[in-house]
A and B are shown apart, each in its own frame.
Chain A
């Protein structure tokens, strides 16, 4: 009982996730800056931003639903943190593995998108409303390819359990090469999920000021930012566990490998962020349904066929 509470609150739960989220946000921003040939923020920048927002005045607009408005950021952070508990970190096993946890993690990761929608919609601002409609439109286009891309390795491994998949691919390391199309689809769809460039039209600051978060300030916005940074960690860990099946028996070594895997994924995302420009929401929908979804379906078909052929 005490160990479970420690696991949930400190490691690898809430506290570790928050610290690592700030660290990865720094890595992301620093890499982005270096790729633009500038010096970039100092190492404490995400922490300073977070503390500053916590210490600022929190303005709640007069005509919003106050309890929901205050609850949404907390809800987002809670969903992301619970998803993190089911992702393997130092070995092939997560904290509480069970058959079907892959689906649970994917659904918990959908909750932030829905709370972003509600946040924008409820804040009674035109920009917020446009931002939230775009958030949901985007959800419908990247979610299907993302699910298919993460589930097709599961088809080959014949399990819905993330740790089961990890064990399978550790036993058959070469099979992971078959999932290369799924990895490409997942990396692209992840950028839609995290609302990063080039799919950041839901919060495009140059056209609709800040999208869903336009009315959020101070403490509530700090929690939102933390949740977004934590979502990056969870998604990177999930993709690392599924597509880079390198695990070690030694927990320390395993933890180092985990850090390396997430850093690689964040590096890929940072490179995309610096070489791309924002694309319009209709172009995004078009791209996802025309190219990503067929590629993901192709991967599923390949994996289904291979399953009958390959020795497992």
Chain B
């Protein structure tokens, strides 16, 4: 593998340090959404990790997605995902987003998040706690750092 230059390294570093998120509800019961919003309050202070909540997919790096994907939202989810500029990551928050959860095999549900878009991290829990969400983000960033280092060596 060719050695990467300092600019590429700086960009890698900045990607780890500034993950901007966008929150999308693909059919959650709203339990997980409340927990995502809770994680964004000053009490948990996600800005420590450089995270900011963005309204538009054009500015976001991480799609924080809750709920089993219903047939209604499937195309919208795909569209939001495609509107995000590369590189992008998807966090599946809650058991429903991981596997379909209690909505599995429902007539109007296509299943977990990974039946529609590629998922980078799964956060189980009904509903997932804010601490679990933060933990997942930090783990995602650490694994990113590891893979970037692996390319270097």
* Chain A interface residues (CB < 8 Å from chain B): 29, 33, 36-42, 44-45, 47-52, 54-59, 127, 205-206, 208-210, 213-218, 221
Contacts and interface: CB of A to CB of B under 8 A. Distances in A.
Contacts of B14: 47-52, 55
A205 B48 CA distance: 21
Nearest to B12: A55
Interface size class of chain B, counting residues whose CB lies under 8 Å from the partner chain: 20 to 34
A57 B48 contact: no
Contacts of A51: 10-11, 13-14
**Chain A to chain B: the 10 pairs with minimum beta-carbon distance, closest first:** A209-B55, A55-B11, A51-B14, A38-B45, A57-B85, A48-B17, A205-B55, A52-B14, A217-B58, A57-B86
B74 interface: no
Contact of A42 (B50, B53, B59): B50
A127 B55 CA distance: 11
A55 B15 contact: yes
Interface string B33-55: 00000000011010110100111
A40 B47 contact: yes
Contacts of A214: 55-56, 58
Contacts of B10: 51
Interface string B1-44: 00000000011011101101000000000000000000000110
Nearest to A35: B42
Interface of B: 10-11, 13-15, 17-18, 20, 42-43, 45, 47-48, 50, 53-56, 58-59, 61, 83, 85-87
A37 B58 contact: no
Contacts of B48: 38-42
Given A41-B48, A49-B20, A214-B55, 6 more contacts: A40-B48, A45-B17, A49-B18, A49-B50, A52-B61, A210-B56
Contacts of B13: 48, 51
Given A33-B45, A59-B85, A221 B58 contact: yes
